């Protein structure tokens, strides 16, 4: 009998724009998953990100994902972001068998200089053409393409199969 999976691990990533380029970062060569591949900053949504925030009158929190994304970007690459907007989402089965959801956002650089966490070992600000020259994690290039289209105000399907 198949196991029913209701709970998902939820993560968010940010395609950060600065002067018509986006930030990509290289995962450390000792990482278990996708070692030395290039990606965009992000990470898991954590209860601590919002548990002390005010709730509405029904006891609900709003903007928990945005709060988590801002924290993850600050932790991973030392930057502050603004103008956060949804790009797409992706679901998958994690190596531990649990389902995961990654929500991909785009944002503008607000301030700060890139300062990498220990999970990352290099970074580049690249345009769309340059991004093709890096060994990106599967699907990231398609997300960057979509973010560029949305940034330019183009209507685009949010479906990505690459």
How many structural domains compose the chain?
1
User: What CATH number corresponds to the domain at position 20?
Assistant: 3.90.79.10
For residue 144, give its domain range.
9-151
Partners of 136 in beta bridges: 38
The reply to whether 3 falls in a domain is no
3-state secondary structure of 21: strand
The reply to whether 4 falls in a domain is no
Name the strand (E) or helix (H) holding 124: strand 120-126
How far, CA to CA in Å, does 38 sit from each of 53, 83, 105?
Answer: 33, 24, 17
The reply to whether 43 falls in a domain is yes
The whole model's pTM is what?
Answer: 0.90
Q: Kindly report, residue by residue over 11-35, the tens digit of the pLDDT.
A: 999 999 999 999 999 999 998 888 9
The reply to whether 121 falls in a domain is yes
Write down the pLDDT at residue 52: 86
């Amino acid at each position: 009998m198949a196991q029913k999976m209701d709970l998902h691990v939820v993560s968010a990533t940010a395609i950060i724009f600065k002067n018509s380029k986006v930030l990509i970062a290289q995962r450390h060569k000792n990482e278990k998953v996708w070692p030395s591949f290039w990606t965009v900053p992000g990470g898991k949504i954590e209860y601590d990100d919002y548990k002390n925030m005010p709730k509405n009158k029904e006891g609900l929190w709003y903007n928990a994902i945005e709060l988590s994304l801002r924290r993850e970007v600050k932790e991973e690459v030392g930057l502050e972001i603004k103008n956060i907007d949804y790009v797409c989402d992706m679901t998958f089965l994690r190596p531990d068998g649990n389902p995961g959801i990654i929500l991909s956002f785009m944002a503008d650089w607000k301030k700060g200089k890139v300062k990498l966490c220990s999970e990352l070992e290099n970074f580049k600000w690249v345009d769309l053409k340059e991004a093709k020259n890096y060994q990106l994690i599967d699907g990231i290039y398609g997300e960057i393409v979509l973010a560029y289209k949305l940034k330019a105000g183009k209507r685009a399907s949010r479906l990505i199969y690459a």
